[in-house]
Structure 1
Amino acid sequence: MPVSGRWCRAALATALALALGACSSAGYYLHLARGQYQLLSSREPIAAIVSDPGRDPQLRTRLTRVQHARRYAVDALDLPDNDSYTVYADVHRDYVVWNVFATPAYSLDAVENCFPIAGCLSYRGFYDERAARDHAAQLAARGYDTEVGGVAAYSTLGWFDDPVINTMMRWSDAHLIGTLFHELAHQRLFVKNDTAFNESFASFVEQQGLQQYAASGAIDLQGQAEQAARESAFVALILQTRQQLAASYRSSRDPVALAAIKQQAFEQLQARYRQLRDAQWNGYAGYDRFFERPLNNARLLPFGLYDQWVPAFATLFAEHGRDWAAFYAAAAELGKLAPAARQAQLQALAARASAKTAAVVP
């Protein structure tokens, strides 16, 4: 389902950083250490798999494509040249990590988890689904909105040689390769305490890198445009609701009034989605699954994290001559700014993107 891609395609929690920072909870530390050890001990060189005629032919074909894309990432996108994604691991489950998102009942501010290396993150990661759901239940019992999302890939920011994982093999080539670019972008630049910056930066590198890779003739994206348009429209719906709720939560402190506002906003989101699905998508129901469970604030969080500043980074890339090295240097300078100044710069870049879009619309 397309909605699952929202959780799966991005590099999320950095396991080593989380483990080193988990001193406040010995049990959590041990849980992460065991999970990371299992993953690392399952690795084997992709080159060895590809060259072994006794291995699964489909796996060998997919990993051959990964090898080609990995080299392209270095040569054409100026992404890190290391041993990450030159190894493969089978963890024998559908997801490698489950992330727990949480917000207050009447706020879209994430409950952050802070660690010395990774900084503050807008989620908490677990290698075991039951542990993740137990943690979410504890937060819910304290009145928070929560969401648990399975993650098929993540980056340790270069601390370890991150593997391509079996959880990624069910994806299309475009999704797989785009995720590879996304993961490596996290290794290229990561700013502590700013999840939206990091995920939007990596999402832009993923999208732009995939477009360039397709333009080189290495992959065929034909047929992807329609799904990309649906994804963009669905995300726009979610972000519209986020903005609506954020404004409403600031306007009142009455919990009864806020509860009614919240319910109305989610009902409007469902109605707008049904109209989009039935009128514009000719009944395409790929996002129906998102509405199968009750909506809450936490379920909206990942959308804003991954998409918020993508137009800003697109503008930054264009304004630096579409040169990757210059773009990365400029993005790194943004990352050095104080949070308020960084936000202001990103808002200005996004405004220029909107103005340019408006100028070309008849």
Structure 2
Amino acid sequence: GWNVYSAPKFSVEPKKWCFPIAGCVVYRGYFSKKEALEFARKMDERDFDVFIGAFNAYSTLGWYNDPVLRSHLRLNPIRLAGLIIHELAHQKFYVSGDSRFNEGFAVTVERAGVLRWLKSAGGDDHIVQASKMWDKEDLIVAKILKARTQLRNIYLRELDSKSLAQKKNSIFQDLKSDLCGGNCSGINLPNTNGEEFELNNAYLVPIDTYYSLVPVFQSILDSLGGSLPQFFEKVEELGELPFEERQREIESLQKRIKDNH
């Protein structure tokens, strides 16, 4: 399937859509690429930046038995295990209307679960492979999130549209050069499946949503000695807080991580 992400031309804050059960999310999902492209075109006409990201799986949050598709079996074992664990994590815990919290939690559980599975299978070589894959992913994500912060700060300044457009273009050109030498065609960046795309505000949305809180959740898991049952309890406590209070707790943890580095 395909998720369509949108953000205003001069904002890194995503457009959101609200649904029963899932709450408000930062994408519109489609099983038809034609429908995804049509919706993306309409958002583009409304002067939004748009990014279409393919997804391999989805979770019905325990309402139905979610399928393992034939296409999943073409993934390498580490990716396939991660995909299954990630979607099961959403069944374990989900906060309606807080995509960053849900995805940061699921990515953290995905990685922890894959490591446990590989250790139980005695796959030392695969553990090294997985660790290298995540290290590379984290390095790329850090560069993208740094650019997002730069853009957010620029968009908050009271500049005219021409100046904003110039600064926006400059930051994305620098990011493209940093990520892939200026030509990202065919480069398998996060959430792209190697497909051609445009670096814009909308592409930043899934990167921020999936990865920005992973260090927070990982620090919680590490502080509990890697105990997943205790981790789930702590995450549930955070998830039950009102949104603003939860954000304050997360920001406090982020500050602690930054201070320790």
Relative to the length of structure 1, the TM-score reads 0.66
- Within 2, Cα distance between the matches of 1:118 and 1:291? 28
Name 1:65's counterpart in structure 2: none
Residue ranges of structure 1 left out of the alignment (5+ in a row)? 1-96, 278-284
Name 1:317's counterpart in structure 2: 221
Q: Are 1:185 and 2:89 an aligned pair? A: yes
- Within 2, Cα distance between the matches of 1:107 and 1:292? 23
The correspondence of residues 149-168 of structure 1 with structure 2, limited to 5 A, is 149-168=53-72
Contact residue 99 and residue 126 of structure 1 kept, 8 A:
yes
Q: Quick one: which of 47, 50, 54 aligns to 1:146?
A: 50
Q: Structure 2 counterpart of 1:240, which letter?
A: K
Q: Deviations over 1:39-80 (max 9, x none)?
A: xxxxxxxxxxxxxxxxxxxxxxxxxxxxxxxxxxxxxxxxxx
Q: Structure 2 counterpart of 1:233, which letter?
A: L
Q: Are 1:112 and 2:16 an aligned pair? A: yes
Displacement after TM superposition at 1:318 (Å): 2.6
Report the aligned-residue RMSD: 2.3
Identity %: 34
- Within 2, Cα distance between the matches of 1:188 and 1:287? 28
Displacement after TM superposition at 1:355 (Å): 3.9
- Within 2, Cα distance between the matches of 1:129 and 1:276? 27
Secondary structure of 2:65's counterpart equals: coil
- Within 2, Cα distance between the matches of 1:213 and 1:123? 31
Q: Structure 2 counterpart of 1:159, which letter?
A: W
Name 2:179's counterpart in structure 1: 273
The correspondence of residues 283-298 of structure 1 with structure 2, limited to 5 A, is 286-287=188-189, 292-298=196-202
Displacement after TM superposition at 1:257 (Å): 1.2
Displacement after TM superposition at 1:311 (Å): 1.1
Secondary structure of 2:74's counterpart equals: coil
Residue ranges of structure 2 left out of the alignment (5+ in a row)? none
- Within 2, Cα distance between the matches of 1:122 and 1:130? 20
Displacement after TM superposition at 1:294 (Å): 2.9
- Within 1, Cα distance between the matches of 2:119 and 2:165? 49
Contact residue 94 and residue 102 of structure 2 kept, 8 A:
yes
- Within 2, Cα distance between the matches of 1:210 and 1:224? 8
- Within 2, Cα distance between the matches of 1:134 and 1:291? 18
Name 1:204's counterpart in structure 2: 108
Count of residue correspondences = 255
Q: Are 1:175 and 2:79 an aligned pair? A: yes
Contact residue 312 and residue 347 of structure 1 kept, 8 A:
no
Q: Quick one: which of 218, 239, 255 aligns to 2:161?
A: 255
Instruction: Quickly say closer, same or farther: Cα 1:250–1:331, change in 2 above 3 A.
Output: same
Relative to the length of structure 2, the TM-score reads 0.90
- Within 1, Cα distance between the matches of 2:71 and 2:207? 21
Name 1:244's counterpart in structure 2: 150
